[in-house]
Structures are given as structure tokens and as C-alpha cells.
Structure 1
Amino acid sequence: MSTLHTGLKGKVALITGSTSGIGLATAHVLAEQGCHIVLHGLMTQDEGTALAAEFTTQYQINTYFSNADLRDPACIHEFMDAAVEQLGSIDILVNNAGIQHTQDVANFPIEKWNDIIAINLSSAFHTIQKVVPAMANKQWGRIINIASVHGLVGSANKVAYCAAKHGIVGLTKVVSIECAEQGITVNAICPGWVDTPLIGKQIDNIASDKNLSYNEAKYQLVTSKQPLPEMLAPRQIGEFVLFLCGGAAKGITGAALPMDGAWTAQ
């Protein structure tokens, strides 16, 4: 259980890509504080409504779910209008949704580039543009963009992902400057390796290819990039989001904050 941040009780948090992984863990962390939650992700409407009902029952909060296509600005606007209509406001925005495709630049599919830029970068612009006026009117808002260590460094075969995440860092900086006198903080979290099912598949492949145990393969994968031989748990990122929403972080804005096991310290 997180330390209680009493000032967050009753605030509304919208988290894109929150039906699994980092987004879902963040939703749980904020719901524990009494935040009402807007869930979003790749589920059917029935599945999402059921997940929202679980949150409502578990935390005694109000919830709303959408599976809006973040590639379409009109869908984003409709989704956010509906969320405000249902829950009254959006006080905390966590732009977490993201997709990945790895391939060398010469052969990178144009449609994959377009989808990654749309979901990983442009959707954050659209959600931020939508929430800033109301946050400014209230003189309070928290915008947290889940970037990546790849918003700070590059890796081969990740041209679209790195471009989008570097763009998220730039977007964060500009919006933080524009909103500095409006009670709104804007920050980017830049995780390194995070323990998710997708990474588990990579580890299984390494273990199989090199005849290693799962733990040996995991160690090899993680330390190929970062000195700390451990992956983050998704909840650790959620706890950092919570810290950035609290009073102690009021002076932190415009920052790209690594959680990368010293990856970028090298």
C-alpha cells in the first residue's frame, strides 16, 4: 500500500494504455489514494467495463473505460469529453500508451512508423492540449508522460520508437515552460528495462538460442544495456507517478527522469 497522499483523494486520473503493464499498475497506485480513474486500453468494451467495475468495487471510486483509437485525434477528443462528462474533470494525465516495432531503418514499414508516432507521441500532444485549459482554470494539474530511456539514447532497429520517445521529452519540456505559472507540472519518466510479459518472451528466446537458464538469459539481456542487473516492476513506475503528483514534487517540472539502472550514466 502506498503512503496516503490525502490531497489526491477525489481527483480524477486519466491513464492511457492502462489495461496492462505500467499503466494498470499506475491506475492501482492512484486508485489506492482515492483518485477516480479513467482506464483506457486494448480491450473490448465489455472487458473494459468489467475491469472498471473491479476498480470501483475494490477502491470505492468512480471509474470510466474507453478503448478509443489513439491514432485518431477525433476519437481522442470524444473519449476525453466522455470521461469529463462521466467523472467531472481530468486532474492528472498519464500518457502511457505505446507500441513497438523493431527493424532497421532501410526496411522499416511506413505504416509501422506512422502508427508508432501517432500512438507514442502525437496522442500525448492531443491529450495534453485537451486538458491544459481546464487545469489552468483550476490552477492545478499533473501531466506525466511515460517516455523511456530511449527518449534519452538511441538503440539500433528502434528508429520510430526512439524518435517518438525523444519527441515526448521535447514535448514535456515545452509544455512545462508554458504551464509553469498555471499550477501545472509536466514531467517525463524514462524507464529502462521493465518486467513485462513482452520482455519475458525476449528472455525465453535468448535462453533457447543460447542454451541458458531463464535467469541467466535475463541477466544477460539486462546487463547488455544497464549496470543494475534488475528490471523495474511496473508498480515502481506507478509509485514514481504518485510522487510526482504529490506536494514534495511541486518544484519538479520539465524534467526527463531516468529510472534506468544507470543505463544513461555510462
Structure 2
Amino acid sequence: MTSSSVSTPRVALVTGTSSGIGAAVVKHFCELGHQVLAVDFNPAGKAIAEQAGAAFFEADLTDPDACRAAVADAVKRFGGVDILVNNAGIQHVASIETFPEEKWRQIMDLMLTAPFLLTQAAWPHMREKGWGRIVNVASIHAQVASPGKAAYIIAKHGMIGLTKTAALEGGEQGITANAVCPAYVKTPLVDNQIADQAKLHGMDEQEVIEKVMLKEAAIKRLIEPEEVAQLVAYLASDAAGAVTGSSFNIDLGWTAH
């Protein structure tokens, strides 16, 4: 999946872009010639976006108005939205019994409601052109569950439902929707989980990596963000026009058991 996957420069809106997968997607899209709006609540994301050649829009996507404003900004700058990559996410590790309600609501608002609202706002622009690509960065936890991550797992499972519904509604309008489901990727989100997982499981941090994060993996390493970005770029390309409603596991063999 190289630059040959893209035949026409497009307008892409990517969320959660200040680090990790989102930053890698922005960089790769810019290298492919797309016009990119990087959206993140962290103002530090502006420098990262501009270094890659993208525009930046600061937004807290737990606010519905901010979701609509992000799409409106892409339309104002570039004339529309052709590609939407819903990537923004957070994590909180706690048992169901102790999970804080405010964290539950924040995760649902950011990781399930925001992708729906962004899709809804971008849809008319894709429909008008008869071409659109929606790529939802889910997780292998959209396919399987682990203890201590109820809100994250439920939101990611819901994202698969959104993906399938968008695929069915968009098929006749030239809009595809697919999900990417990585296992543990070398990102700050994963780094920040290690201490929490260690506390939850009564392990040291190295044990968490070996016995929790990589336990089910056939390939014993973390995934590089750029590897996920390559798959996202393919699904956002002209070459993937017949691919929709699918979930692509990039999971080091986790689900091969």
C-alpha cells in the first residue's frame, strides 16, 4: 500500500492527531498529496500538523457543536470533506464496579457520539461528489474484550456497528465505510495504560507488556503507528472502492487463536 493506492488528491479530516496513529495518518496523507485538516483538543497538535503540511483545528470533540465546527472548517478551507478518519480516543482502566460515571460519559461522547456526528456532518459533502471514504480507527477491542476497560470496549464495539450501518447507507452514493482494528500500538495512549494495568493486575510494568499486552500475539512486539497509517491510506484510496462494511484486524495474530 504505497502512493500508487491514491490516484486523486482528496480533502481529509483526521481526528486525534497530536500523537500516535492520528499523527502518522496526517503525515502519510500529506505525503500522498491530500489536503488535510488535523483535529485535536491539544493545542500542541498545531505544530505537529503544520510540520506535516496539514492545517489544524483545535476542538474538544465531546462537544457536539465542535464536531460540526470541525467539518465546517474543512469545508471553508478546502471546499468539502472526501475522507473522514475517526481516530480520537482516550482510555481509563478500572473495574466495572469502580468505573467513574464521568469517565464513562467522556469516553462515549468522544469515541462513539463524536464519530457519528462527524460522519453525519461530512456525509452531504461526500454524497454531493458521489465519492467518500470513512475510516474508523477502532481497536482489536472492538472484536474481543479484556477486563478493566468497559467503556473503551463498548465504545469500540459500537464503532463497528456505526461502520456497518454507514456502509449500507452509503453504498449507492459512492461512500464507503470501514474500520481498522489494531492491537497494542506504540503510542502515548498505550504507554499511559501500562502503569494502570500494572496496578489492576498486581504486576510490574514489564510483566504487563509481556503477559497482558502481548500474551495473545503471535508476533511479540508493539505495532508502529505508521503501519496502521498505511492500512488507513489504502481504505481511503480509489483502489478500495469495492471495500466497505469491513473490519480489518492488524493485531499481530491475536485473533488467530
TM-score, normalised by the number of residues in structure 2? 0.90
CA drift of 1:225 comes to 2.7
Asked if structure 1 preserves the Cα contact closer than 8 Å seen for 2:91 and 2:189, the reply is no
Question: In structure 2, do the counterparts of structure 1 residues 33 and 230 end up closer, same or farther at CA, with 3 Å as the change threshold?
Answer: same
Q: In the alignment, which of 246, 261, 266 is matched to residue 237 of structure 2?
A: 246
The alpha carbon displacement at 1:83 in A equals 2.1
Equivalence map 1:14-93=2 (5 Å) = 14-44=13-43, 47-56=44-53, 63-93=54-84
Equivalent-residue separation in structure 2 for 1:182 and 1:32 (angstroms): 28
Of stretches 128-137 and 75-84 in structure 1, the one that deviates more from structure 2 is 75-84
State percent identity of aligned pairs: 38
- 8 Å Cα contact 2:167-2:175 kept in structure 1: yes
Between the two proteins, the alignment pairs up a number of residues equal to 253
Task: Give the residue type in structure 2 aligned to 1:248.
Answer: A
- Distance change in 2, residues 1:110/1:202 (3 Å): closer
| Cα distance in 2 for residues equivalent to 1:163 and 1:179 | 24
Q: CA deviation at 1:226?
A: 2.0
Partner residue of 2:150?
159
The answer to whether the 8 A contact 2:90-2:189 is kept is no
User: Within 5 A, what are the aligned runs for 1:67-146?
Assistant: 67-146=58-137
Q: Which runs of 5+ in 2 are unaligned?
A: none
8 A contact 1:2–1:32 mirrored in 2: no
Partners of 1:107 and 1:210 lie apart in 2 by 19
**How many Å apart are 1:129 and its aligned residue?**
0.4
CA distance in 1, matches of 2:184, 2:145: 14
Q: CA deviation at 1:248?
A: 2.8
Provide the rounded CA distance (Å) in 1 between the counterparts of 2:5 and 2:216: 35
Aligned position for 1:59: none
Task: Measure the CA separation in 2 of the matches of 1:34 and 1:121.
Answer: 29
- Code of the residue aligned with 1:26 in structure 2: it is V
Q: CA deviation at 1:197?
A: 3.1
Q: Which amino acid aligns with 1:117?
A: M
Query: How far, CA to CA, are the matches of 1:48 and 1:200 in structure 2?
Result: 18
> Pick from 141, 144, 150: which aligns with 1:150?
141
Alpha-carbon spacing, 1:166–1:210, altered in 2? closer, same or farther (3 Å): closer
Aligned mates of 2:204, 2:183 — CA distance in 1: 25
The offset of 1:210, in angstroms, is 6.4
**CA offset digits 1:63-106 (Å, max 9, x no partner):** 32112111111121122212211121111100000011111111
CA distance in 2, matches of 1:142, 1:89: 13
Amino acid at match of 1:14: L
Matched position secondary structure for 1:8:
coil
Whole-angstrom CA distance in 2 between matches of 1:96 and 1:236 = 15
Per-residue CA distance 1:143-178 (angstroms, 9 max, x = gap): 000000111111111110011000000000011000
Compute the displacement of 1:7 (Å): 1.9
TM-score (normalizing by structure 1): 0.87
Task: Please tell me whether the aligned partners of residues 133 and 177 of structure 2 are also in contact (alpha carbons under 8 angstroms).
Answer: yes
User: Which amino acid is the alignment partner of residue 175 of structure 2?
Assistant: I
Structure 1, unpaired ranges of 5+: 57-62
Amino acid in the other structure paired with 1:171 = L
> Match of 1:106, SS?
coil
Conservation of the 8 A alpha-carbon contact between 2:17 and 2:45: no
Structure having the higher Rg? 1
